[in-house]
Structure 1
Amino acid sequence: MKIALAQLNPTIGDLKGNAERMLKFIAAAKEQGADLVVFPELSLPGYTPQDLLLLPDFVQECGAMLRRVILPATRDIGVLLGLPLPGASLAPHLFNAAVLVAGGEVTGVQAKTLLPTYDVFFENRYFQPAPRRAPISFRGVRLGVTICEDIWNDKAFWEDVRYPVDPVEELVAAGAEVIINISGSPYHYGKQALRLGMVQALARHHRRPVVYVNQVGGNDDLLYDGCSFAVGPGGELLARCRPFAEDLALVNLGEEARAARQVEPFPPEDMEWVRKALVMGIRDYCRKTGFRRALVGLSGGIDSALVAVLAAEALGPENVKCVSMPSRYSSSRSVADAASLAYNLGVEYAVKPIEQVFAALLGEMNGGGPPRLDVAEENAQARIRCNFLMFMSNRENRLLLTTGNKSELAVGYATLYGDMAGGLAVIGDVPKTMVYELCRHINTLRPQLIPEAILTKAPSAELRPDQKDTDSLPPYPLLDFVLKKFVEENCSLKEIVGLLAAEAGLPKELVGRVSAAGEEQAAAGEEGAAVQQILDLTKVVERIMRLVARAEYKRRQAPPILRVTSRHFGDGRRMPIAQRWSSQSSL
């Protein structure tokens, strides 16, 4: 059997547009002699439709579009696609279904069994699990059809499984000869290596070929890498699609064809994957929301430089405008660096000093007295810049892209109604250390695109004289390590301090003896010095945790944040704002 892997980039809710894109894939698959073309999870409405699924008209129109557009195109080819199907009543009694269409009619249906409710998923809000699992016969082959999460429960691969049911195991026991998985699996750095390894292990475990078809594209904050592929019963790669692009790949599951086929492996995951993900995220967000042009406040620092580079690639430099808005505290070096970058990119560039407005505001608010150099005056500069940028955004119909990174958003070092204002947070899930990695990588692709001075200068918001980020924050490598463990991995204070202590070569047993409040008196000698180091580490980690908790209200008001790590600030992390839990008690 020849199966075409149709890696689709749908727009959520654009049923007609999605169906028309599917017809093009079907036509291309026919030309290549495919017996069956497979589309991703909920490919007709786009994944994930969220509360559109609560609208009866939306669900009904999905079915109508299937009948009007897709069915007539399947006279001589099979099509497997995803859409919501009503159960006994509408949501939350819908099925997340895979529908097999052939000969102009529906010939098989399999609903999703395992409904994830962790991370960014809320599927039991809309769907009910499949009541049964059975292979679907097509042209003499028994297909074991699964949907996304259904293959993520192999007890031979995972130490702990989330669900009591293993759909693949049941399908194989019922005679499935080929496992097909239609998926809407969001990307984060490191995801593809895990996903490919898991599917290869699944194929080897059940001695069955596996065809995995994933959605591609950006839908709001979630980025889908695609990376659809097929593996043989021994886990060998038989076909694959490109990452971060619509694609069509054909796999012939015949024994002779399998033996003869050699497929180039996926490229290793590195910063190029993150770069492509963010570029795709900007491009799709603009395309799907109707924006053609973008606006970036360019400070001369590394964060805004990265956003400008990504935006220029995503939209074309002719569609990006960068604006420098120096204040009395902006260094001449930063202003020059911003201009150099804009020139290198070939984008429109403007300089709009904020001094006159800032001076007038200080005169009004300080009663004619001297500047106080406090947080209010620092934030005022960011908010003045926001007003400038939003004025240009409105007048020129440009999407304003924010430039704050994940490290800043985590600890609250981004200004609400200032540099946090905009329509899309491009690097809000990129830690500061990764910002540097990305910029260095970009300069290997286009040498000296980002001026070296931007990469080597000490990070500074330049909101007061001689300001440096390290005046108020730990060094970024330490900060990002703690944030990864705390935010992404849910580690406790004691666990994080233990990891830092071990890295510093301190005795592990001492960590458990040191209280979170630092009440233990340091003993004399080497042990006393080690205890003091642990106390110092504890204070740093405690402070970071407090900053993360206090900044929750800010993050709630941030624009959508493109996700590239395993846990981003958004639906994947839901914390109360008014709360008093502290990890200190766990040390």
Structure 2
Amino acid sequence: MRLPEGGGEERRDQSAMKIALAQLNLLVGDVPGNAARILDAIDEARSAGAGLVAFSELALCGYPPEDLLFHAGLREDLAAGIRRVRDASRGIAVVIGYPHREDGRWFNAAALFAEGRRLHLHRKNVLPNYRVFDERRYFAPGTEADCVDLDGLRLGLAVCEDVWEPEVPRRLADGGAQLIVVTNGSPYELGKQPEREKLLARRASETGLPFAYVNQVGGQDELVFDGASCVIDGSGRPCVRGEAFTEGLWYCRLDFSDGEPARPRRGDLAAFMPEDEEVYRALVAGVRDYVRKSGFENVVLGLSGGIDSALTLALAVDALGADRVLAVMMPYRYTQPLSLEEAESQARALGAQYEVLPISGMVEAMRGTLADLFAGLPEDVTEENIQSRCRGMLLMAISNKQGRLVLATGNKSEYAVGYATLYGDMAGGFAPLKDCTKTRVYRLARYRNTLSPAIPQRVIDRPPTAELRPGQLDSDSLPPYEVLDEVLDALMLEDLSVKHIAERGFEPGVVRQVLDRVRLSEYKRRQAPPGVRVTRRAFGRDWRYPIVSGYRPSRAND
């Protein structure tokens, strides 16, 4: 596994090793399938001359396994998978993450295998329990941070959160490590990639050691993992960076000599993406993997002629291919000609299947059924919601009959304040835009059109409307989205009070209205489909407010 380098300038006591970072898209719970992919990557790395290949956190079972860890059958699969990886570690060393069972407890572990033997096992010391992480529910913390020798290179292993605090890297450095290999299951959120590298640079400056950081890639339920695996040298500079949202192996050659930190050579260094491209790529990955990993091949969505459904259609086509996407326009008397024209125009331009199913008969039949019960009562949002629920019923019927996953088209702004209809436009199996505010939806639509024409300009330019009554606009019921979205970010990302949000220049009455609507809409969000998480705090795993509560944020004095 030690690979002497050519060239007469090297010192005699200096060695070199080529390492591979295996950035794979794995499926939680599919241990046999994951093991097969891992073995293929081991073979590829060995053929490329690598002496070490590293995989991501809990790669064997996929991350996060959640309550699957309670199933005895998974334990049996893991034992078989570990044997397969161990036996494949001939002619190459393998660092891999997997759940390790010991004395009746699970540990989130990373192991080093070589020549058919396990040489070292590191148990994750620092277990995260915040935002989307809940590891203390499943794992016991490790207490040791030791090093191991591999062909003259002294390695330290760490697992993800271990390097977000300085203690484990410091102990590995004190133990003589020349390189720290970090296995990770680090989910994507906007700005996370440079944040990770800044953290690794800080640990490198503290220890003087290089870090080889390998992350998984792909979607898993609400989470998307962006990969962006990297090697950071002992001065904190990136030497290798894998492309985000892309499977593959990235290589780095290390020079090392006794007692000195390894010296990574510069290799492929993928550039960070601009913000809109990064978010769009995350959404595409989330849609693609949720649909395929759920066992679906095709999707259906309601195409209204509005911006949200237009962006959702573009995402679906980019993620799955136009032949797997059915867009359904479901007009009623309030649907404007522009909506009909642009919905058809977009579907035809993208090559998606397109159908028009008018809902007038359904709506009138339902209103007729309720006429006696509603006699003497004025029309209100009830009649508007009937339209939305008729559309939801049609989409679910198509889903049942044709085996298509329904994509809900709502955005974060709407879900936040309840501007959506339960069992209507909220119906679906997955909501791609669930963590994208309305202002971000517009940004992403404009970005997508820089790649190729995908979303009609008239759809982008028109004022947002649900078209559930004559002349209706979103602004009739909501503050301007530019205001609403900033208030929501202050609430969700910073946990600010009415007072502190208002101090940023917003009307206190508007802020109170928004916070009250967020509170009152909790019951709706609990019934919403999952969606791609792209910000630091989304409605889902990291938003855990009670449905029933006496707390009134709009009346809080803090």
CA deviations 1:537-560 (Å, max 9, x no partner) are 111101100100110011111111
Q: Matched residues in 2 for 1:47 and 1:580: separation?
A: 36
Per the alignment, residue 79 of structure 2 pairs with 63
RMSD between aligned residues? 1.6
Q: Matched residues in 2 for 1:500 and 1:486: separation?
A: 15
Per the alignment, residue 264 of structure 1 pairs with 269
> 304, 314, 319: which one pairs with 1:309?
314
> 490, 500, 509: which one pairs with 1:495?
500
Calculate the TM-score normalised by the size of structure 1: 0.89
Per the alignment, residue 43 of structure 1 pairs with 59
Q: Does 1:554 align with 2:524?
A: yes
SS at match of 2:469: coil
Per the alignment, residue 129 of structure 1 pairs with 141
Q: Matched residues in 1 for 2:273 and 2:236: separation?
A: 18
Per the alignment, residue 108 of structure 2 pairs with 96
Q: Matched residues in 2 for 1:466 and 1:586: separation?
A: 39
CA deviations 1:321-359 (Å, max 9, x no partner) are 000001111111111111111011101000000011111
- Residues 93 and 114, structure 2, Cα contact 8 Å, conserved in 1: yes
TM-superposed CA distance for 1:32, in Å, is: 1.3
- Residues 96 and 112, structure 1, Cα contact 8 Å, conserved in 2: yes
- Residues 420 and 426, structure 2, Cα contact 8 Å, conserved in 1: yes
- Residues 28 and 61, structure 2, Cα contact 8 Å, conserved in 1: yes
Q: Which residue identity does 1:2 align to in structure 2?
A: K
CA deviations 1:12-49 (Å, max 9, x no partner) are 11111100101111111011111110000000000000
Q: Which residue identity does 2:131 align to in structure 1?
A: D
Q: Matched residues in 2 for 1:571 and 1:224: separation?
A: 15
SS at match of 2:556: helix
- Residues 37 and 79, structure 1, Cα contact 8 Å, conserved in 2: yes
> 441, 466, 471: which one pairs with 1:435?
441
Q: Matched residues in 2 for 1:77 and 1:187: separation?
A: 30
Q: Does 1:396 align with 2:402?
A: yes
TM-superposed CA distance for 1:370, in Å, is: 9.6
- Residues 406 and 430, structure 1, Cα contact 8 Å, conserved in 2: yes
SS at match of 2:121: strand
Q: Which residue identity does 1:4 align to in structure 2?
A: A
Q: Which residue identity does 1:585 align to in structure 2?
A: A
TM-superposed CA distance for 1:241, in Å, is: 1.2
Q: Does 1:149 align with 2:161?
A: yes
CA deviations 1:537-584 (Å, max 9, x no partner) are 111101100100110011111111210111111111100000021232
SS at match of 1:253: strand
TM-superposed CA distance for 1:170, in Å, is: 1.3
Q: Which residue identity does 2:398 align to in structure 1?
A: M
CA deviations 1:111-148 (Å, max 9, x no partner) are 10000110011100000100211112211212111101
Q: Matched residues in 1 for 2:90 and 2:102: separation?
A: 27
Q: Matched residues in 2 for 1:369 and 1:332: separation?
A: 32
Per the alignment, residue 556 of structure 2 pairs with 585
Per the alignment, residue 419 of structure 1 pairs with 425
Matches for 1:440-519 after TM superposition, within 5 Å:
440-446=446-452, 448-500=453-505
Q: Matched residues in 2 for 1:53 and 1:71: separation?
A: 21
Q: Matched residues in 1 for 2:183 and 2:66: separation?
A: 18
Matches for 1:172-571 after TM superposition, within 5 Å:
172-254=173-255, 261=266, 263-367=268-372, 372-446=378-452, 448-500=453-505, 537-571=507-541
TM-superposed CA distance for 1:195, in Å, is: 1.0
CA deviations 1:433-490 (Å, max 9, x no partner) are 00000000001111x3211100000000000110000001000011000101101221
TM-superposed CA distance for 1:71, in Å, is: 1.8
Q: Matched residues in 1 for 2:264 and 2:77: separation?
A: 44
TM-superposed CA distance for 1:264, in Å, is: 3.4
Runs of 4+ in structure 1 off by over 6 angstroms are 368-371
TM-superposed CA distance for 1:369, in Å, is: 6.7
Q: Which residue identity does 2:547 align to in structure 1?
A: I
TM-superposed CA distance for 1:268, in Å, is: 3.4
Alignment CA distance shift 1:371-1:466 (3 Å): farther
Q: Matched residues in 1 for 2:135 and 2:89: separation?
A: 30
Per the alignment, residue 24 of structure 1 pairs with 40
- Residues 238 and 258, structure 1, Cα contact 8 Å, conserved in 2: no
Calculate the TM-score normalised by the size of structure 2: 0.94
- Residues 373 and 464, structure 1, Cα contact 8 Å, conserved in 2: no
Alignment CA distance shift 1:51-1:330 (3 Å): same
CA deviations 1:484-534 (Å, max 9, x no partner) are 110122112221111226xxxxxxxxxxxxxxxxxxxxxxxxxxxxxxxxx
Q: Matched residues in 1 for 2:503 and 2:87: separation?
A: 63
CA deviations 1:140-194 (Å, max 9, x no partner) are 212111101111114xxxxxxxxxxx21111111211111110000001111121
Per the alignment, residue 167 of structure 1 pairs with 168
Q: Does 1:78 align with 2:93?
A: yes
CA deviations 1:186-209 (Å, max 9, x no partner) are 001111121112112221221111
Q: Structure 1 stretches of 5 or more lacking a match?
A: 155-165, 502-536
SS at match of 2:528: coil
Q: Which residue identity does 1:321 align to in structure 2?
A: L
Q: Matched residues in 1 for 2:504 and 2:46: separation?
A: 56
Q: Structure 2 stretches of 5 or more lacking a match?
A: 1-16
- Residues 83 and 97, structure 1, Cα contact 8 Å, conserved in 2: yes
TM-superposed CA distance for 1:9, in Å, is: 0.8
Q: Which residue identity does 2:142 align to in structure 1?
A: A
Per the alignment, residue 518 of structure 1 pairs with none
Per the alignment, residue 514 of structure 1 pairs with none
Q: Matched residues in 1 for 2:265 and 2:98: separation?
A: 35
Q: Matched residues in 1 for 2:265 and 2:135: separation?
A: 41
CA deviations 1:45-98 (Å, max 9, x no partner) are 00000001112331232122111x212211111001011111211xxx210000
Q: Matched residues in 2 for 1:144 and 1:260: separation?
A: 19
Question: How many aligned positions are there?
Answer: 536
Q: Which residue identity does 1:22 align to in structure 2?
A: I
- Residues 234 and 263, structure 2, Cα contact 8 Å, conserved in 1: no
SS at match of 2:504: helix
Q: Matched residues in 2 for 1:260 and 1:432: separation?
A: 44
> 573, 583, 586: which one pairs with 2:543?
573
Q: Matched residues in 2 for 1:377 and 1:413: separation?
A: 15
- Between 251-260 and 476-485, report the one with greater CA deviation: 251-260
CA deviations 1:230-277 (Å, max 9, x no partner) are 011112222121110111011111169968635435223411111111
Q: Matched residues in 2 for 1:410 and 1:277: separation?
A: 21
Q: Matched residues in 2 for 1:179 and 1:372: separation?
A: 69
Provide the identity percentage.
44
- Residues 252 and 264, structure 2, Cα contact 8 Å, conserved in 1: no
SS at match of 1:96: strand
